[in-house]
Structure 1
Amino acid sequence: MQSAFFALALFVGCLIHAYPLPAQTPAGHVRRDTLTLFDTVRHRPIPVALYVPVAASSGPRKLAILSHGYGGTNKAYSFIAHNLVAHGYVVASIQHELPTDEPMPTTGKPYDVRMPNWQRGVQNIRFVVRELKRRETQLDVGQLLLVGHSNGGDMSALYARQFPDDVVNLITLDNRRMPLPRTRRPRVLSLRSSDQPADEGVLPTPTEQQTLGIRIVALPDTRHNDMWDGATESQKAEMNRYISAFLAP
């Protein structure tokens, strides 16, 4: 299986980097391959940073899709990607916005004016999941994990609402516009910043949280714009602790 993942590096634009794994997995390193998939139906390139373990896997690995915040990049959340690899995932971090895209509107009701951006993100995620599965049949997409920050969390929440049977776990970092699913599946964890509140109706009520097992965690020492690789080591460690606890068997 591992050799098949390495074959993905033959795509145009591939770059290779190695990073130490988090402390909980001392067995090796993470390999990052960058590749560009192409959706012929939408005539759209989709850059992907693919994080895989250097060490060979003894069986299928689960897939996690990581979606950046608006204006961000798909390589800006490596601290989360490394942690997810440590939990048995192959991580595909998608570059959702391209230089040729129209800017997202800054006026109007955010839910309405941002919906086309989110829908495009849903299409990107769906294409990447299908394409990676087609190229690597051993990849387990039946335990799909979606992770997204801010606008990337909004599009991940929309995907989970539209395709609930396809998503097992949803983790958002301070998504503020798209309401989180009110379901037991997918399981939901949302980490909340200290400075930017969500719009009304985005977060489940305390009763919904308790009834459905939804986890909403406030991070009093972390701002919205801290939730990326530019965070302090203590902030990154705290976010990863909550993610690890959520994903623990």
Structure 2
Amino acid sequence: MGPADVRLDSLALFDSARQRVVPVALYFSSGWGPKTRLKAAILSHGYGGTNTAYSCIARNLVAQGYFVASIQHELPTDEPIPTVGPPQVVRRPNWERGVQNILFVRQELRKQYPRVDFGQLLLVGHSNGGDMAMLFAQEHPALVRRVVSLDSRRMPFPRARRPRVLSLRSSDQVADPGVLPTPAEQRRFGTAVAQLPATLHNDMWDGATPAQQQEMNALIARFLAR
């Protein structure tokens, strides 16, 4: 599937309960037929990023048969993320807001796209967005089939066989103690951890080189095919 085969759309959803706009970028196959049922993927950007800056990942997911919703989690009016104090404590409200964004977007898109399966989500998140995905997976495991962490570092991974987890790890950042499952836990729960020696933490977006994008997307495609 080439770039011309991917249709792009954007929505500015409004959550009346929280009085908050939630912008969403959508990626799906332009050849989506009337009888085709697609799987749903929710993509969450890294802190300071945008929901349109991960199109290389989103397009790869479309090629794997996914309808992709990329959420803009931070708005210009939001308070900056705390930088002082234990991250798992001071950043928790930011991740909780991300969880609420994902729940809200899932609810709204289910109404608009009834032929997309939003009951078995694939969550993909970079850095802080990966922390949101991990928290969502822990709080709502019945809604999540798989999670792809692009170098998330703060929120502990689920210790369970469902959802299945793939983590792509950069060469320059390490996760906080207790975040990644131990090798024994990885074997027990089927968690996949892949080291990317030629990729930095801040390379995991559209700014990555073609070789870096190819490596990340090949690992993700292999994980989704299992």
| 1:171 alignment partner AA | V
The list of structure 1 runs, each at least 4 consecutive aligned residues, that deviate by more than 3 angstroms after superposition, is none
Question: Could you tell me which residue of structure 2 aligns to residue 239 of structure 1?
Answer: 216
Q: Structure 2 length normalisation: TM-score?
A: 0.97
Residues 148-171 of structure 1 deviation map (CA, whole Å, 9 limit, x = unaligned)? 000000000000000011100000
The whole-number CA distance in structure 2 between the counterparts of 1:226 and 1:206 is: 26
What secondary structure, in the 3-state scheme, does the structure 2 residue paired with 1:225 have?
helix
2:123 to 146, 161, 170: 146
| 1:20 alignment partner AA | G
Question: Could you tell me which residue of structure 2 aligns to residue 109 of structure 1?
Answer: 86
Residues 50-78 of structure 1 deviation map (CA, whole Å, 9 limit, x = unaligned)? 00111133421111000000000000100
Residues 119-140 of structure 1 deviation map (CA, whole Å, 9 limit, x = unaligned)? 0000000000111002222211
| 1:29 alignment partner AA | D
Give the deviation of 1:107 after TM superposition: 0.6
The whole-number CA distance in structure 2 between the counterparts of 1:56 and 1:199 is: 41
User: For structure 1, which runs of at least 5 residues remain unmatched after alignment?
Assistant: 1-18, 22-27
The whole-number CA distance in structure 1 between the counterparts of 2:195 and 2:184 is: 17
Question: Could you tell me which residue of structure 1 aligns to residue 114 of structure 2?
Answer: 137
2:24 corresponds to 1:42: no
What secondary structure, in the 3-state scheme, does the structure 2 residue paired with 1:201 have?
coil
The whole-number CA distance in structure 1 between the counterparts of 2:157 and 2:150 is: 12
Give the deviation of 1:206 after TM superposition: 0.3
The whole-number CA distance in structure 1 between the counterparts of 2:147 and 2:71 is: 16
The whole-number CA distance in structure 2 between the counterparts of 1:161 and 1:48 is: 23
Question: Could you tell me which residue of structure 2 aligns to residue 14 of structure 1?
Answer: none
The whole-number CA distance in structure 1 between the counterparts of 2:164 and 2:32 is: 29
The whole-number CA distance in structure 2 between the counterparts of 1:95 and 1:110 is: 21
Count matched residues.
225
The whole-number CA distance in structure 2 between the counterparts of 1:70 and 1:56 is: 32
Question: Could you tell me which residue of structure 1 aligns to residue 169 of structure 2?
Answer: 192
Question: Could you tell me which residue of structure 1 aligns to residue 32 of structure 2?
Answer: 56
Question: Could you tell me which residue of structure 1 aligns to residue 142 of structure 2?
Answer: 165
The root-mean-square deviation of aligned C-alpha atoms, in Å, is 1.1
Higher relative contact order (CA 8 A, sep 6+): 2
| 2:152 alignment partner AA | N
What secondary structure, in the 3-state scheme, does the structure 2 residue paired with 1:66 have?
strand
Give the deviation of 1:141 after TM superposition: 1.1
Residues 28-56 of structure 1 deviation map (CA, whole Å, 9 limit, x = unaligned)? 51011111001000000000000011113
2:73 to 79, 96, 103: 96
Q: Structure 1 length normalisation: TM-score?
A: 0.88
| 1:160 alignment partner AA | A
| 2:8 alignment partner AA | R
Question: Could you tell me which residue of structure 2 aligns to residue 16 of structure 1?
Answer: none
The whole-number CA distance in structure 1 between the counterparts of 2:224 and 2:184 is: 23
What secondary structure, in the 3-state scheme, does the structure 2 residue paired with 1:107 have?
coil
| 1:41 alignment partner AA | A
The whole-number CA distance in structure 1 between the counterparts of 2:113 and 2:87 is: 38
Residues 176-225 of structure 1 deviation map (CA, whole Å, 9 limit, x = unaligned)? 00001011000000000000100000000000001111001110110000
2:15 corresponds to 1:20: no
The whole-number CA distance in structure 1 between the counterparts of 2:146 and 2:168 is: 14
Question: Could you tell me which residue of structure 2 aligns to residue 7 of structure 1?
Answer: none
Identity %: 62
2:56 corresponds to 1:74: no
The whole-number CA distance in structure 2 between the counterparts of 1:85 and 1:135 is: 18
